[in-house]
Copies of this chain bind each other. A is one copy, B any other.
Amino acid sequence: MKIEKLTNAISLQRSVDQANENHLETVHEVIEQVKQKGDKALFAYTEKWDGAKLASLQVTKEEVDEAYASFDPQLIEDLKEAANNIRLFHSQQVRQNIDFPLANNSYIQYKISPLDAVGLYVPGGTAAYPSSVLMNAIPALVAGVKRVVIVSPPSKDGKLPASVLVAARIAGVSEIYKVGGAQAIAALAYGTETIKAVDKITGPGNSFVALAKREVFGKVAIDMIAGPSEIAVLADETAYADEVASDLLAQAEHDRFACSVLVTTSEKLAEQVAIEVEKQLKELPREEIARASIENFGCIYIAGTLEQAITAINELAPEHLEIMTEHAEAISEKINHAGAIFIGRFSSEPVGDYFAGTNHVLPTNSTARFSSGLCVDDFVKKTSVVYYSEEMWQAQYPKIARLARLEQLEGHARSVESRSWEKGDLN
């Protein structure tokens, strides 16, 4: 792993757009076909691309029962505990309506209500992570969304991974469809005979899925289209090199484009971590992926001072930040931009990926400067309500009419004045 002196801002020059524009024509065609032919198109594409000839799209209760019964009971307990932690923490994010009384028995209000229906995309194969099912479904359910739907591409035998079905049941989602790719996104956005349209689509996916989400955006809401995962570790001489290295590699094993960065004030630690990374890489099952990530996008930066290191981290606005220094908690207060912060050596990033209760869907590619991880807010909408009594209107309408005329919107002024017009025999 390369070591550099930290001089200027850390830059992450990566190809982060997962949407391959070459697939756009295909995606347009898929969406059009699903809009026109509904389920028929879903069956056809699933046979063509997933190699599965399905009798029906929806996963039955029996299939989930079977997956659940055959699943390791210890893992079911672990998933349940993780789900519970996520549910508890996200429940804290639930907001109440704002009722704001005005003079003259009038009021304004801010009504917070859940979306009606949300679709969660779960990728197939080894990218089908049960933890992602929990992290996407639970905030929606906590928000009060009545209908949460999962779509996921089946394997050739027409099945979904047991871990996805088990996580769905633990999260509380029972409407699950065996369909993936752009066709699944089209079905969620426009609806088919079997799959009713939703209002928002979340969850990660391949290039076809990312492009399809971009295309249906506006018809429905979508979550962010995430880039490759990132971690920055801020460490001083008190950190253990083997621990830092293992954390860098946990990120690197995700994806060739993942980015793991260490910023440290200790030259000794820098050197030891480089050695440890190489040592641990050799023993990692996903060595090839992790090595590509570390070699292309990994770096150890040696900072002259802790302040310089903190400034660089804030510039970077990493998705994940681990702080393994003396006074780590105090230092975390100086971090203005990060998706999630992990304080101290016992809070390694997988604690948040799986278990602590915070969400693991986080802003990548420096967007933590202005955006946030997935949360209950993403599944509600807010409606303003205005009630003016006659007395309140009487007191305020001349001001409103003047402001409208300042903007040369005479019709607006007349609207608010019309209540004073002498009423004829219209009614």
Contacts and interface: CB of A to CB of B under 8 A. Distances in A.
A270 interface: no
B199 A369 contact: yes
Contacts of A130: 403, 406-407
Interface residues of A, number: 126
Given A75-B406, A350-B404, A93 B110 contact: yes
Contact of A89 (B100, B365, B392): B100
Contact of A240 (B92, B382, B423): B423
A336 B116 contact: yes
Residue with the greatest number of chain B CB neighbours at <10 A, chosen from A88, A89, A385 = A385
Given A332-B385, A396-B355, A350 B413 contact: yes
A272 B426 CA distance: 7
Copies in the complex: 2
A147 to B, nearest CB: 13
Contacts of A390: 346
A399 interface: yes
B368 A400 contact: no
A353 interface: yes
Contacts of A29: none
Interface in A373-427: 373, 375, 377, 381-390, 392-393, 396, 399-404, 406-416, 418-419, 421, 423-424, 426-427
Contact of A371 (B129, B221, B389, B419): B221
A407 B115 contact: no
Contacts of A285: 408, 410
A359 interface: yes
